[in-house]
Amino acid sequence: MNAADRHLFGSGGVLSSFVQYTHFSGYGHGQGPEEMQVTPDGWGGNFFNAFTRTSQQMELRETFQFRQKQWHGRHELELGGDSLSRSYHGTSHSMPVDILRADASLAEQITFSSPGALRTSDNDIAIFAQDHWILSDRLALDLGYRISGQTAGKHAALAPRLGLVYAPGANAKTIVRGGFGVFYDRVPLLAGSFVDSPTRTVTMFDAQGLPLGPPVTFQNAYAKVGGAGPQLVAPGHDLDSTPDNLTWNSELDRQLRPHVLARFSYLSSRTHDLFVVGPEQSPGANPMLLMTNNGASHYHEFEATLRVRPSERADLNISFVRSTTRGDLNALSDVFIPFEQPIIRTNSFTDLPSHVPNRFVAWGVFKIPWKMTASPVLDVHTGFPYSEVDELQNYVGQPDGYRLPTLAAVDLRLTRDFRISFLPWLKNHKVRGHLAIYNITNHENPRDIYNNIASPNFGRFAGLQDRMCSGGVDVVY
């Protein structure tokens, strides 16, 4: 539910007001009461965790845009502020998780404490100023500054931003763009209630089904990592940390010919202070499932794109992307959202599951006979990374140190517009029929693999993508 209002003053300024209320409820549970089984060949039984989540959010934003000012160019200045109030409550109940060997014997069992009642809230207030400064017909700057604070996270966060557009030649055939910015995320509400989640107790068994030792209970805890090292924070206290991101990019556009445009760009994005979760079991210390705020991720990307428009009937784009994606595997959002992971391994900083270093894509839109439009896409990229694990589901070798085969796919979408005049309610509209063919060459393109070294299917690909067709009709207004 939201409402917006814009008021134009006689001076030329514009006051914009926006208010929004959001209520969200969700739940998830297994399909039955059986204990979950994790085997070398995959999951069995019923999913172990059942949860309910109810959250509310109220947002108020006010911005005032001044009339354009003249001072060494033209200025479009805007000031504003926003207030966000969020709250969340829910429950989490987990059944035992049995980790089985290849011979179906029990190797490890994870049990959980009584259902956890989760509750937290956060209030976020920010003020900002930004200026679109047009110095000349060939040079423009965007300057911005934002100051924010959160009750559950960092109490004072400063976020400057800068953007630039420059055309060095009078003919504007070359355009240079660039910018950088600091961005603060909002603290995930699940982080605020992490210590109240059910605790995990692990029991190991030998091949005869006898315990190898007493059960080990991992107490939930949060440690803030700062200049003095990790410091445990007592339950009920603010996290006093907010994930932040520093991003900068540069781009060069060059018109090579009237219908040929080349673009080269580079993007760097670094995220810090992410909340990560992992087991901690040190001699002389109580075992913990520890959440810390020292997670990070890095993304770097170089892209070269060529666009060719030889006529109004043809538009072709060719792009190559070289990128690097690395980060902590146990980010809170990956371990608990949307569903809690049954096994939480030791955290590792490595290639992320989305890391695809090389990607070549060609796509276009072509007008063909019979008033049809063809939209083909060729996508070739490095296979996604995966990890190998043993019977206890522990990493073998470097996490995400292996890759699926290169993906290569050709897709095609055909569309045609019709007029249906004999139906009165459609006479003023067009009907668009479409046919889509995915993976025309029927390339294998596996999406998964049996990665457990104890599995008899180890190394066998799964999730193969076969050729697929779909079609439909849309009404175009």
pLDDT tens, 122-136?
999 999 999 999 999
Residue ranges making up the domain that contains 322? 2-352
- Number of compact structural domains in the chain: 2
Residues 210 and 254 in one domain: yes
Q: Is the pLDDT of residue 235 over 90?
A: no
Q: Mean pLDDT throughout 144-171?
A: 95
Same domain, 344 and 376: no
Whether 337 and 406 map to the same domain: the answer is no
The tokens describing 254, both together, are 């060059």
Same structural domain for residues 324 and 231? yes
Shared domain check, 342 and 376: no
| Same-domain check for residues 117 and 253 | yes
Last residue of a domain, one of 308, 325, 352: 352
pLDDT, tens digit (0-9, with 9 covering 90-100), for 381-418 = 999 999 999 999 999 999 999 999 999 999 999 999 88
The listed range with the strongest mean pLDDT (220-229, 248-257, 419-428) is 248-257
- Tell whether 244 and 367 lie within a shared domain: no
For residues 253 and 10, the model is more confident at 253
User: Does 336 share its domain with 385?
Assistant: no
Residues 343 and 360 in one domain: no
Domain closes at, from 352, 382, 417: 352
Is the separation of the CB atoms in 106 and 72 below 8 Å? no
Last residue of a domain, one of 313, 336, 352: 352
User: Mean pLDDT across the chain, nearest whole number?
Assistant: 94
* CA triple 362-366-367, angle to 5 deg: 175
The pLDDT, as a whole number, for residue 158 is 96
Model pLDDT for residues 22-54, shown as the tens digit of each residue = 999 999 999 999 999 999 999 999 999 999 999
Q: Which residues contact 422 (CB under 8 A, 6 or more apart)?
A: none
347 with 470, same domain?
Answer: no
Backbone angles phi, psi at 240, to 5 degrees: 55, 35
- Partnered with residue 365 across adjacent β-strands are 315
Q: Do 336 and 437 fall into the same domain?
A: no
Whether the predicted model's global pTM rises above the 0.85 cut:
yes
Q: What are 466's two structure tokens?
A: 């076969």
Q: What is the pLDDT of residues 179-230, one digit of tens each?
A: 999 999 999 999 999 999 999 999 999 999 999 999 999 999 999 998 778 8
Query: Which of 130-163 are b and which e, b meaning 16 or more Cβ less than 10 Å from the residue's Cβ?
Result: bbbbeeeeeebbbbbebebbbbbbbeebebebeb
Same domain, 365 and 322: no
pLDDT at 114: 85
Residue 96 has what pLDDT? Answer: 96
pLDDT over 80 (residue 339):
yes
